[in-house]
Amino acid sequence: MLGDEAGDMLKKILADICSRYSYSIKALEVMPDHIHIFVDCPQTVAPCDIVRTLKSLSAVEMFRAFPKLKRFYAKCGKLWSDGYFISTVGHISETTVQKYIEEQKSHERKKEM
């Protein structure tokens, strides 16, 4: 459901949210059914709070921008699943994380072929 138009809008929404909360997006890829995002944030912010903020605010904005998404997800009542993966950069470089995220689109396309 996160195809071209919805994916582009989601990127804009996430960028706006990050700007409001003083987070910096280092890398972002929107896949058909999930996203990869690498965010730099103040050390005082818990990673789980970043995820909660991004997921909740982006869902509200996406449902507002795309009413058909709200109808599609009406059965479960939410856009995002409860699960997520968080890791901090420490033992690997920022460049490695950015490269991994940027390669996800091409990796997904190869799987589809």
Q: For the domain that residue 94 is a member of, what is the CATH number?
A: 3.30.70.1290
CA distance 41 to 50: 9
CB 34 within 8 A of CB 15: no
Q: Looking up tokens 């459901």, which residue turns up?
A: 1
**What is the per-residue pLDDT for 33?**
78
CA distance 48 to 41: 12
pLDDT band (50, 70, 90) for residue 111: low
pLDDT in tens, 32-88: 778 889 999 998 999 999 999 999 999 999 989 988 877 776 667 777 888 888 877
Q: Domain containing 46: what range?
A: 4-112
Bridge partners of 41, per DSSP, are: none
Of 81 and 13, more confident? 13
How many structural domains are present in the chain? Answer: 1
CA distance 112 to 63: 28
Q: Kindly report the pTM of this predicted structure.
A: 0.79
CB 94 within 8 A of CB 26: yes
